[in-house]
Amino acid sequence: MRILPLFLTLIWAAPAGAELLHRETIAGLRGVSLAYDAQVCGVWVATEGREVILIGTTGREIMRFDAGMPSVRSLTVEPDGLLLADGWGRFRRVDRDGRARAEDFSLSATLVDTEGLHRDADGSFLVVEDDPSRLMRVAPDGEVLMELWGDRFDPPMVEPQGVERDPFSGNILVVDDNEGLNALFELAPDGAVLTVTPLSAWGFDAEGVALQPETGTLFIGFDGGHAVAIFDWRPSGMSIEAPLERGPDCAFM
């Protein structure tokens, strides 16, 4: 675990009012996609292999299961379990023990290289892809409701890998990997760039992001070195008038 002096952390990680303060790093855990689940008070971790791992909010492993897919590239939490994507256009719904709940399907014909996935409060999905660089909102029936091109952002977001949304501020969080800026992008709902926080002080090749909203605990997975870093996070400001539905409080908070 790499620990920086507090004053250096603040200088490095708080541009334009956003705050990201490092707590600790869990080594040996490849987090290519992360999703916080209040029902089990933990974070689901996809490793780009067959297994999906559940860790507690302090990093302790709770359980793991074989997803039955050759690769799980991204995942998100739904009311009845998880939605998994293999990164090649195939999606699978499973319960929290990993059992398939239905046949595999295609969420949308336009989604193939799905690097990050987040089910939003209204049931639609935020999706990021890196080839080409896109941030999309997709309806449950597959209709593309929003499509933004990351390489047109200022600064460009050329390799988006993980996506999350803070239900309190409404801001969208996307991690850009080392082929881009290796940074955390904080975006307004329309894709306007609010802040960009470099992450290289804590890891290499950022891949996944998840937020425990009631505590402001942010989890970022790094492919380089196979690590998940845990932070205290505060948004730069509000982009919505009223908080979104965020589901139940963590039972073990």
d(CA 206, CA 228): 9
Residue 5 binned pLDDT confidence (cut-offs 50, 70, 90): very low
Instruction: Indicate the average pLDDT of the chain.
Output: 92
Cis preceding linkage at 155, omega within 30: yes
Average pLDDT score over residue span 142-156: 97
- pLDDT tens digits for range 212-251: 999 999 999 999 889 999 999 999 999 999 999 888 888 6
Q: What is the pLDDT of residue 252?
A: 56
d(CA 230, CA 97): 25
Concatenate the DSSP letters of all residues of the chain into one string.
-----HHHHHHHH-GGG-EEEEEEEEET---SEEEEETTTTEEEEE-SSSEEEEEETTS-EEEEEE-SSS---EEEEETTEEEEE-SSS-EEEE-TTS-B-S--B-S-TT--S--EEEE-TTS-EEEEEETTEEEEEE-TTS-EEEEEEGGGSSS---SEEEEEE-TTT--EEEEE-TTTT-EEEEE-TT--EEEEEE-TTT-EEEEEEEEETTTTEEEEEEEETTEEEEEEEE-SS-SSSSPPP--PPPTT-
Complete domains list, the chain, with CATH = 7-234 (2.120.10.30)
Amino acid, res. 54:
L
Q: What is the pLDDT of residue 183?
A: 98
Cis preceding linkage at 132, omega within 30: yes
d(CA 72, CA 66): 10
Q: What is the pLDDT of residue 18?
A: 87
The residue with greater pLDDT, 131 or 25, is: 25
- pLDDT tens digits for range 16-46: 578 999 999 999 999 999 999 999 999 999 9
